[in-house]
Amino acid sequence: MRIPTEHQLIVGAVKSLQALGDVISAELRSSKHWALTEEGAEIAEQGSHEARVFRSVPSEGLAQAELMKLSFGKIGFSKAMSNKWIRLDKAHEGGPRIFRTVESIEDQVREKLLLVQTGSSSELEEKEKNELKKRKLLSEVSYWKGSSFSTTITKQEAELTPEMVASGSWREKKFKPYNFEAMGVAPDCGHLHPLLKVRTQFRQIFLEMGFTEMPTNNFIESSFWNFDSLFQPQQHPARDQHDTFFLADPALAHEFPQDYLDRVKRVHSEGGYGSQGYKYDWRIEEAQKNILRTHTTAVSARMLYKLAQQKFTPVKYFSIDRVFRNETLDATHLAEFHQIEGVVADYGLTLGDLMGVLHQFFTKLGITKLRFKPAYNPYTEPSMEVFSYHEGLKKWVEVGNSGVFRPEMLLPMGLPEDVSVIAWGLSLERPTMIKYGINNIRELVGHKVNLQMVYDSPICRLDS
């Protein structure tokens, strides 16, 4: 039977009746009357998100940033990409741009919803209905009379009053059942996000290992400290706008230690300290560009330079803070995330010392399944990627990067030649995912986070 009333109004009325006791019974069924949700009705009228995205892309293409401003942009983009209706050109001049890959499309999602809207849902297969239900475009509900069904609604009493007893009216009243095992009302309070809980544990581990926390309160960094001071060449692809967020205002930094800047320029363009350098024309204009820092190693570079300006003493530094990269979002990558970094400066440190510290560090986290893979970094040699086995994803996941800082980075700062610096960096999000059994990083950070998960997540106790 079809009821010519909005679905949400019926659902609201059903829930109100259920709250009165056994007036009616209701349960969700998988093979009864199907109705469009509010979002489904919108798509039936205007077309699916992916079709609207396709129609929004002209023949000359559309900038990805412009598409994402549309209300249907994010959802429609991913669906249209999976349907191979559009393609993304990341290397396009002027930024990533979206182009059509087909001349025309058939909006099957809208056609299926229109069948449901006109009462012809029987023409759809169960698989098709379930797919629409999974996208929250369809829903279903059935009702039948309860044991206390009535055509009138009588308010149930919550309390037995002296007046009811004195007058005897309690005999005619209906009372809500008492739940003597109910808990009291929980007071409203804030709850720590799992990231903050794990961050606290990371910080405690570093402090237990004798590390000192570095100041990391500058999200904006110059390209000089973020790249050049780390012996990263100015033509490196990581410095491209497709990987880094550049600032428009203020676009440039102007204050640098001049002697140090000259030594960095020389080691890049001419070589030195036993290195032949990169042999290119190093430009101060490139080093001045302000960016959202891509790693907290920029902070480590500042701290090591400060250390080199005084009599050297061995140090152990750490930091845990936010970094930014122009990444494509997926189950394990975000454009904004937290980086954990550890730095140890002492005489004669080797790769063996680095591996030992990493094993000690990750064991305190309760992560014992580790693998090391040789890697390349412009500012460390040798370099290693650190992998941990993720029980939820059933595969090895990269959790960090590490290495020994190169002489071309350390000696221009003024550090003694026999001083070595070992360092490692890892994200805060991925160890948190491993600890809490989360398979998709977007369920941990971002607008899709279930706030109930934040409320219910237990205190972090790492299995040290």
Within a domain: residue 392?
A: yes
pTM of this prediction exceeds 0.85: no
d(CA 114, CA 367): 52
The C-alpha atoms of residue 208 and residue 1 are separated, in whole angstroms, by 68
CA distance 349 to 129: 62
pLDDT score at 22: 64
Residues 206 and 345 in one domain: yes
Confidence at residue 141, expressed as pLDDT on a 0 to 100 scale: 58
Q: What is the span of the domain harbouring residue 209?
A: 194-456
pLDDT at site 188: 77
Please indicate, yes or no, whether residues 112 and 261 belong to a single structural domain of this protein: no
pLDDT of residue 30: 41
The reply to whether 42 and 122 lie within a common domain is yes
Q: Give DSSP secondary structure letters for 288-325.
A: TBEEE-S-THHHHHHHHHHHHTS----EEEEEEEEEE-
d(CA 111, CA 149): 39
Residue 384's pLDDT is what?
93
Q: Does residue 104 sit in the same domain as residue 219? A: no
The pLDDT value recorded for residue 31 is: 46
What letter would DSSP give residue 66?
H
Instruction: State which residues of the chain have pLDDT below 70.
Output: 1-8, 11, 20-33, 141-154, 458-464
Instruction: Write out pLDDT tens, residues 10-59.
Output: 767 777 777 766 666 666 554 456 778 888 788 888 888 888 888 888 88
Quick one: 247 and 362 in the same domain?
yes
pLDDT of residue 183: 84
Among 76, 111, 139, the domain-final residue is 139
Q: How far is CA 93 from the centre of its chain?
A: 28
Contact 376, 383 (CB under 8 A): yes
Number of domains in the chain: 2
CA atoms of 267 and 35, how far apart (whole Å): 69
Query: Which domain-ending residue is among 122, 139, 156?
Result: 139
> In this structure, are 198 and 134 located in the same domain?
no
Residue 131 and residue 267 in one domain: no
Check which CATH number belongs to the domain holding 113 and give it.
1.10.10.2330
Question: Residue 3 in contact with residue 80, Cβ under 8 Å?
Answer: no
Percentage of the chain surpassing pLDDT 70? 90
> What is the CA 464 to chain-centroid distance, rounded?
26
Contact 413/304 with Cβ under 8 angstroms?
A: yes
97 and 234 share one domain = no
